[in-house]
Amino acid sequence: MSIPLSVLDLAPVPAGTPSSQAIRRTVDLAQLAERLGFVRYWFAEHHGMPSVASSAPEILIGHIAAATHRLRIGSGGIMLPNHTPLKVAEIFRTLAALYPDRIDLGLGRAPGSDQNASRALRASDGHDFAAQLSDLLAFTGQIQFSDRHPFRNVVAVPDDVPLPPIWILGSSGASARMAGGAGMGYSFASHFSEAPAGPAFRAYRDSFEPSPQFPAPHTILGVAVVCADTEEEASHLATTMDLAWLRIGRGEFLPLPSPQEAQAYPYTEFERRAVAEYRRRTVIGTPGVVRARIEAMARDSGADEVMVVSNLHGHAERLRSYELLAQVFS
């Protein structure tokens, strides 16, 4: 089985590394991903988290698009409750004008932040995602505002380029039928969701209506991966996210701990069980082991593409994880 691979980048911030340096390092991974044959490179949107530097994905998209030549660059995603639809339309039409046929627009309904950060930047209450999506499409002429709509004469400029292909992001399946009925792509975040992707993908395909951007349905499975030359090294590197996820569960968004810090942490028995549960959602191992598990996940869910996120403390180890993955799938 051969399946296309892509990259999801959160611009992770390791302990001891300035967040500005974590942002600049995105170029290293993007250019490596292009050389290795990855299909897409998407940035997540998160706010108020010292462990994540991708607070402005639209800026990073333009930066990486300028530093690469073939990769599709996009958002995974823009959290629509944090933005006005007109501004999203303007930003992504501008990116599409600058980098034709290379930009993707992934949209999510979650805030990508804790409650305080969400209140600090929120453009909506998050309960009107469908209405926001309709406004976004109407600003670019894909659907029509009603004759009485106050925005009916507003145009998103540049007005001579379409919006990039739109992908709806999900982690529970709630948006699957919306994406299918609208003729959009659909991506499921298995890297943090406890829900299985298969039912969501089936709901998406069952409701799919072809569109100019998506004549056929297309699904992407998000997978967390730690790949290394040996099982021992992979397990060692994965301890970074063991402790990071434990802290996130407590509302602590600290920079990514080193494996040494994570291994020195005094886990309680309850915490060890929580870590074991997280590891069941993560693909950890040597290239052969990782490939076999990714292929099984793609086959079981019906994914057309796999998008890999590897949040490791060491920059070189993170690059190596993607390199090994690409080699074993080539």
- pLDDT tens digits along 287-312: 999 999 999 999 999 999 999 999 99
- Tokens representing residue 234 in the block: 């992979």
- Check: CB of residue 25 under 8 Å from CB of residue 19: no
Look at residue 117 in the predicted model and tell me its pLDDT: 67
CA 244 to chain CA centroid, nearest Å: 18
Neighbours of 119 (CB within 10 A): 10
Alpha-carbon gap, residue 42 to 56, rounded angstroms: 12
- Tokens representing residue 43 in the block: 């940035």
User: What sign does the dihedral 6-12-17-22 (CA atoms) show?
Assistant: positive
Q: What are the structural domains of the chain?
A: 5-329 (3.20.20.30)
Neighbours of 125 (CB within 10 A): 7
Neighbours of 138 (CB within 10 A): 21
Rg (C-alpha) for the chain, rounded Å, is: 19
Q: How far is CA 57 from CA 49, 54, 64, 107, 168, in A?
A: 14, 6, 10, 12, 16
Alpha-carbon gap, residue 137 to 108, rounded angstroms: 15
Look at residue 153 in the predicted model and tell me its pLDDT: 93
Alpha-carbon gap, residue 307 to 290, rounded angstroms: 14
Neighbours of 236 (CB within 10 A): 17
Reduced to 3 states (helix: H, G, I; strand: E, B; else coil), residue 288 is helix
Reduced to 3 states (helix: H, G, I; strand: E, B; else coil), residue 188 is strand
Q: How far is CA 119 from CA 49, 102, 114, in A?
A: 14, 33, 9
Look at residue 172 in the predicted model and tell me its pLDDT: 86
Burial of 128 (0-12, 13-18, 19+ CB in 10 A): middle
What is the pTM for the complete model shown? 0.95
The answer for residues whose C-beta is within 8 angstroms of residue 105's C-beta and 6 or more apart is 74, 75, 77, 78, 88, 92, 163, 164, 165, 166, 167
Look at residue 256 in the predicted model and tell me its pLDDT: 98
Look at residue 251 in the predicted model and tell me its pLDDT: 87
Alpha-carbon gap, residue 148 to 95, rounded angstroms: 30
Alpha-carbon gap, residue 66 to 282, rounded angstroms: 32
Low-confidence ranges of the chain (pLDDT < 70): 1, 111-127
Look at residue 110 in the predicted model and tell me its pLDDT: 78
The answer for residues whose C-beta is within 8 angstroms of residue 215's C-beta and 6 or more apart is none
pLDDT tens per residue, range 187-226:
999 998 989 999 999 999 999 999 999 999 999 999 999 9
